[in-house]
Homo-oligomer: A and B are copies of this chain.
Amino acid sequence: MDTARQLDTTYKAQPPMEASKPDTATRILDVAERLFVEHGFEATSLRMITQQAEVNLAAVNYHFGSKDALFESVFMRRLTPLIAACLAELDGMEAQFGTLTPEQLVMAFIRPCLALSKDPSRGGALFVRLLSRTLVENHRLLRETLSQQYSVFVQRFGKAFHRALPALGQEDLAWRMHFAFSVMFNAFAGNDVLKIFVRSQIVSARDPDMIVKHLVPFVVAGLTSPPLR
């Protein structure tokens, strides 16, 4: 078919009615992303993915190697730019303000997350949920890949936090960063820990701006409380 089009370009160079299909690998990624978000990793079968993507079952293993590797690809396609955006935001704010306040630091991380959650073309709010949930759940598939690729992120933010909170010792600071990112990832994951027990209409509001409005003061208060001892 491609050769035919090349030979006779007058005969519809692009099929007019048929929406220009992305290539096989991209179709798989798009469908897999949606299904992983909707049903979770385990509950999504390769046969569901390949059927909706209109590709052969074996195409997944050909292009990605395994279901695990496919998940990693789906995940990294979004996370890599997000991490870069966070680092850029941090650099930009430090260039503008010098040493940042804890609140500014928290916002340097949160703002790109908010932007991503409002951009449907990059997965939108649903993907932020998948992303956060995967980080919170400490997914076996991502432990090695992430620690190799994104140690810069923690080192960079770690230094910034150390400058913003000079009164804290190394150990104290490490714990607080750990807790702070726990809350933030959990908030974006949208898993209402308390809604498991009782339906709380208030907290289950999915509006990201609403989350941030309450989240930031909580985290900043925890970070800036008096040093231990």
Query: CB within 8 Å of B: which residues of A?
Result: 40, 42, 133, 135-138, 140, 142-143, 146-147, 150-151, 153-155, 170-172, 174-179, 181-183, 185-187, 191-200, 202-203, 213-215, 217-222, 224-226, 228
Contact = CB atoms under 8 A, between A and B. Distances in A.
Specify how many copies of this chain sit in the oligomer: 2
A217 B224 CA distance: 11
A101 to B, nearest CB: 15
B185 A193 contact: yes
- The interface residues of chain A, by DSSP majority, are classed as helix
A197 B83 CA distance: 11
Nearest to A213: B228
A228 to B, nearest CB: 7
A187 B180 CA distance: 11
Contacts of A183: 179, 182-183, 186, 222
A142 B191 CA distance: 13
Contact of A186 (B133, B154, B186): B186
Looking at A153, A170, A200, the one whose CB has the most chain B CB atoms below 10 A away is A200
A214 B146 contact: no
Nearest to A146: B196
A77 to B, nearest CB: 18
Contact of A182 (B133, B187, B226): B187
A202 B171 CA distance: 6
Contacts of A224: 221
